[in-house]
Amino acid sequence: MGPSNNTQISRFLLLGLSNEPELQSLIFGLFLTMYLITVFGKLLIVLAVSSDSHLHTPMYFFLSNLSFVDICVTSTTIPKMLWNIQTESRGITYEGCITQMYFYILFAELDDILLSVMAYDRYVAICHPLYYTVIMNPRLCGVLVLISWVLIALHSLLHSLMVLQLSFCPEMQTPHFFCELSQVVQLSSSDNFLNNIVMHFAAVLMGIGPFAGILYSYSKIVSCICKISSAQGKCKAFSTCVSHLLVVSLFYFTASGVYLSSAATHTSYSSTIASVMYTAVTPLLNPLIYSLRNQGIKGALKRFCFMPTLKDQISSALDCIAQSL
């Protein structure tokens, strides 16, 4: 089939994780369970932080933003996959594919940026404790989150607009369960050299850049902790970073695994399987890590769960959010 103009594209076909009919029910049940646990766990963290005045600090402000973004990451991919399995359909419209691609890039990279901002917050808290409330004031926290949203939204828009300039055949198949940028670009029947250049440059800028910032922050933190004389003081200082370090390690190990496995095997299927880790498994584990390792979150969840009624819980959380805005 010859190439056609992009305005004539009807849809993309998402081949998913398996072509075996007998596995579809298992995949559906597994991913539905992971999705519900992820959304429920993240919402509990957001509502607990919002409703507990003890947690109205920069660290928990960034944590609640990270939890919200994690919900959005999974919600851009998993529901569509579940819908396709349930309806025994593999299709996604051209417009739907571009939209899914835009929001996936947006929320996945916001995850990356927020992790680096949280590392900076821990650096200030441990290395400059006397100036922490002055440096990490509510205005700066809000500005950091706002700038992150604006920059990543523009970056995601750039990728989406560049894909719109490509030509495709009327019906294309992608060996993935969602519209992943690199997979879609490779399906193009027109010259995608510029798209590949921008993708690789963005991978360096948006991937290595924040990771370098995290490494720098923690190098300073380790240096500062080593100067603490008491063993109890060292343990207390390090304990405030453990949850964040675990989440950072999980995020970067799984994300890098996607590209390493794809480069090693030269197959898109291996990339698809590895993508499951950072689109479904990582967001699932994050709330468990924070709730099990963080005493503040555990205390807030207990207080939140034992409030009189669900209506009062939601109303209190919404009032706190409105006051912070």
Question: How does pLDDT run across 2-58, given as a tens digit for each residue?
Answer: 444 444 566 888 887 877 888 889 999 999 999 999 998 888 888 888 887 788 889
Rounded Cα distance between 315 and 5, Å, is 51
Q: Which are the contacts of 103, defined by CB distance < 8 A and separation ≥ 6?
A: 72, 76, 156
Q: What is the number of other CB atoms lying within 10 angstroms of the CB of residue 109?
A: 22
pLDDT in tens, 111-129: 989 999 999 999 999 999 8
Q: Report pLDDT for 187.
A: 85
Give the pLDDT confidence of 266-301 residue by residue, as tens digits.
Answer: 455 666 766 787 788 888 887 777 766 666 776 666
- In this structure, of 177-181, 206-210, 315-319, the range with the lowest mean pLDDT score is 315-319
The bridge status of strand 11-14 relative to strand 171-174 is parallel
CATH of domain 10-324: 1.20.1070.10
Q: What pLDDT shows up at residue 254?
A: 73
Contacts of 27 (CB under 8 A, 6+ apart): 16, 17, 18, 85
One-letter amino acid of 245: L
Q: What is the pLDDT of residue 4?
A: 44
135 pLDDT tier (thresholds 50, 70, 90): very high
Q: Residue 132 CB: number of other CB atoms within 10 A?
A: 17
Query: How many CA atoms, within 13 angstroms, populate the side-chain half-sphere of residue 306?
Result: 6
Residue 1's pLDDT band (boundaries 50, 70, 90)?
A: very low
More confident residue, 159 or 243: 159
Between CA 290 and CA 60 the distance in angstroms is 11
**Which range, 42-56, 145-159, 207-221, 233-247, has the best average confidence (pLDDT)?**
145-159
* pLDDT above 70: percentage of residues in the chain: 81
Q: How far apart are CA 16 and CA 261, in angstroms?
A: 18
Average pLDDT (215-232) is 87
pLDDT for 13: 87
Q: Report d(CA 109, CA 99) in Å as an integer.
A: 16
The distance from CA 121 to its chain's CA centroid, rounded to whole angstroms, is 19
- Give the residue, 190 or 5, on which the prediction is more confident: 190
Provide the pLDDT for residue 91. Answer: 86
Mean pLDDT, residues 201-230 taken together: 87
Mean pLDDT of 97-117: 93
